[in-house]
Amino acid sequence: MSRGIGETEFVSGLPDSVALLAALVTALGDVWFVFVLLGALYWFGSVFPGPLSLSRRNAAFAIALALGGIAVTTTLKAFFTLPRPPSAAEPAGAALVPELLIPLYAQIAAADGFGFPSGHAVAAIVVYGGLALLVGTRRGYAIGAILCVLIPLSRIVLGVHYLVDIVAGVAVGGAFLAIAYRFGGRGVNPGRVMFFALLVALVGAAASYNTDTMLALGGTLGARMAWGIIGGSVVHEATTRSGSALAAIVGIAFGGLFAAVYALEPAPYLSFLGMFVVVWGVLTAPLAGESIARRLP
């Protein structure tokens, strides 16, 4: 039985240019983009240029929120196992994309797997809403609000979700953000949010043993263990431009492993191990970068 109320028929008549624009917007909620953004904010910390400059503690909190959003999404999808619209596998707007780029475009504009709730809707609220709270400026709130609307809507325009998936994702993301933000001391205790996310991921892993639930479990377990061991050192470590640049190099090296795990979708246990190692590398990168910087002439 379809969950749609006619929205898929409506968006199928939209121009390809609208779908192409929606694909560019939806990429802002993709897992790879979110972790590139949050990784950069964490590695550079307070020396990150522009209005998104955060302390490494706050950036770690944002990473914890993102991991929690993934855990919530994979857990709920494992429980509900509801399909996407029939058009989800076909990238809308592909007619405007050069043939050589269509496989890459399809990774962004098309989707497979279960559809309820929308992971992009959850990510938009948890990540960009969370960053808005951490930045705490009017501009931050405005940009966060815009992205929290546009990213979920882009999923409907692309035909990869029903409206009910989006509404549920926004509600779930908002509830998780409200609970996690308060439970985590309004941005000062990333470890608590990582523990909360780990509990959710354990529920998902118990419900279904698959690549997505194991990615969530490996990431949340790695984050909680890593932050519990090195979090205090990261918070008290100096934040320098040279150390941050070196931290980014170390972090990007682990990001390559993340790209491999994300793209290849190996066996669930390998996904678990890969994500566990990736998160450890990402979170410890500032210590490595600042340590190397102190030893350089």
Q: Which amino acid is at 146?
A: I
Residue 245 located in a structural domain: yes
Q: Mention every residue, 6+ apart, whose C-beta is less than 8 A from residue 219.
A: 67, 70, 71, 201, 275, 276, 278, 279
- Residue 47: half-sphere exposure toward Cβ, Cα within 13 Å: 14
What sign for the dihedral angle of Cα 163, 169, 171, 174? negative
What is the model's pLDDT at position 182? 96
Residue-range definition of the domain harbouring residue 71: 14-292
Residue 1 located in a structural domain: no
Closest CA to 58 of 189, 241, 222: 189
What is the model's pLDDT at position 255? 86
Residue 208 located in a structural domain: yes
Whole-number Å distance between alpha carbons of 202 and 205 = 5
Residue 253 located in a structural domain: yes
Residue 297 located in a structural domain: no
DSSP structure string for 111-179: --S--SS-HHHHHIIIIIIHHHHHH-SHHHHHHHHHHHHHHHHHHHHTTSS-HHHHHHHHHHHHHHHHH
What is the model's pLDDT at position 285? 97
* Residues making up the chain, counted from first to last: 297
Asked if residues 60 and 145 have their Cβ atoms less than 8 Å apart, the reply is: no
Asked if residues 82 and 117 have their Cβ atoms less than 8 Å apart, the reply is: no
What is the model's pLDDT at position 2? 58
- Residue 261: half-sphere exposure toward Cβ, Cα within 13 Å: 26
Whole-number Å distance between alpha carbons of 189 and 262 = 28
Whole-number Å distance between alpha carbons of 35 and 279 = 10
Residue 26 located in a structural domain: yes
Work out the angle at residue 195's Cα, subtended by the Cα atoms of residues 194 and 198, and round it to the nearest 5 degrees: 85
Q: How does 41-75 read in b/e, with b if 16+ C-beta sit within 10 Å? A: bbbbbeebeeebebbbbbbbbbbbbbbbbbbbbbb
pLDDT tens-digit readout, 116-168: 999 999 999 999 999 999 999 999 999 999 999 999 999 999 999 999 999 99
Residue 117 located in a structural domain: yes
Domain count, the chain: 1
Sort 99 into a burial class: Cβ within 10 Å, 0-12 / 13-18 / 19+.
Answer: exposed
Q: Which amino acid is at 280?
A: W
Q: Which amino acid is at 59?
A: A
What is the model's pLDDT at position 270? 93
Residue 186 located in a structural domain: yes
- Residue 80: half-sphere exposure toward Cβ, Cα within 13 Å: 18
- Residues of the chain under the 70 pLDDT cut: 1-12
Q: Mention every residue, 6+ apart, whose C-beta is less than 8 A from residue 23.
A: 91, 92, 93, 105, 108, 109, 154, 158
